């Protein structure tokens, strides 16, 4: 497949042009024109790049790319090494960030809802869906379910709450700030990737169950879903590689 054609296909599938993002979505570093083998992962870290090189990949697709609005506009240190490795091996680097968070089927949030069997009822923000479990469950049972499904013991806060979990809002990644918007929706639980100090006070004072399942763990299934879609739809030689991260 042509490298620019692959970019067009995924941009169209994820409706990338609809969103303003903090990172350029699509082809970030141009490599060889023809792509036969692709490696995917959550983040364009050196470990993933090295594995792509050792696997003779022509392309890398990630959720977290290399060029962010809040990063210095200089190329040195680890970023120089990453970019040099990609260019020296004529590899195409693609990244889809927010579009891969919010896609209604392939997106990270959609995947979380599907995995936890949450019936989506609406959206508090475009990246914050809310929904209902079929039956209310205890917090310890939700923790066990998350551990089983995401292979990560979640951080939980909510010991001051007696009611079970039924109505959940969630946001993949670094979404803890969105907890501020959910009380008016009657939600009893908020789940996201990361946690901040002020998150705990807000959850406590609003009597909310709060789960942090890890930034990486909350965003692993979107890129896996995109990988599977490309493999099935276009018969590509494409494989996901998990570079685990405890955060």
Strand 237-240 and strand 209-212: pairing?
A: unpaired
Contact between 175 and 155 (Cβ < 8 Å): no
Closest of 95, 121, 96, 119 to residue 186, by C-alpha: 121
Q: CB neighbours (10 Å) of residue 2?
A: 11
Question: Would you say 141 is a known binding-site residue?
Answer: no
Residue 153 CB coordination number (10 Å):
12
Burial 123-134 (b: 16+ CB within 10 A, else e): ebeebbbbbebe
- 219 annotated as ligand-binding: yes
Spatial CA neighbour of 42 closest among 19, 20, 60, 67: 60
63 assigned binding-site residue? yes
Q: Known binding site for a divalent metal cation: residues?
A: 63-64, 101, 215, 219
Q: Known binding site: residues?
A: 63-64, 101, 215, 219
């Amino acid at each position: 497949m042509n490298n620019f054609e692959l970019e067009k296909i995924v941009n169209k599938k994820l409706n990338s042009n609809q969103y303003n993002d903090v990172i350029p979505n699509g082809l970030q570093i141009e490599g060889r024109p023809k792509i036969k083998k692709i490696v995917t992962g959550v983040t364009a870290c050196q470990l993933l790049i090295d594995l792509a090189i050792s696997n003779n990949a022509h392309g890398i697709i990630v959720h977290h790319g290399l060029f962010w609005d809040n990063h210095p506009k200089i190329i040195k240190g680890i970023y120089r090494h990453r970019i040099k490795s990609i260019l020296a091996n004529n590899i195409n680097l693609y990244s889809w960030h927010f579009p891969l968070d919010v896609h209604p089927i392939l997106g990270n949030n959609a995947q979380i809802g599907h995995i936890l069997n949450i019936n989506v009822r609406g959206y508090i923000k475009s990246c914050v869906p809310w929904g209902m479990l079929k039956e209310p469950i205890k917090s310890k049972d939700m923790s066990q379910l998350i551990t089983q499904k995401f292979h990560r013991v979640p951080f939980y806060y909510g010991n001051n709450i007696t009611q079970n979990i039924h109505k959940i809002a969630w946001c993949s990644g670094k979404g803890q700030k969105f907890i501020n918007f959910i009380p008016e929706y009657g939600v009893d639980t908020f789940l996201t990737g990361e946690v901040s100090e002020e998150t705990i006070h807000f959850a406590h004072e609003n009597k909310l169950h709060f789960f942090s399942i890890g930034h990486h763990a909350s965003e692993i299934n979107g890129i896996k879903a995109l990988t599977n879609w490309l493999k099935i739809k276009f018969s590509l030689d494409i494989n996901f590689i998990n570079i685990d991260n405890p955060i």
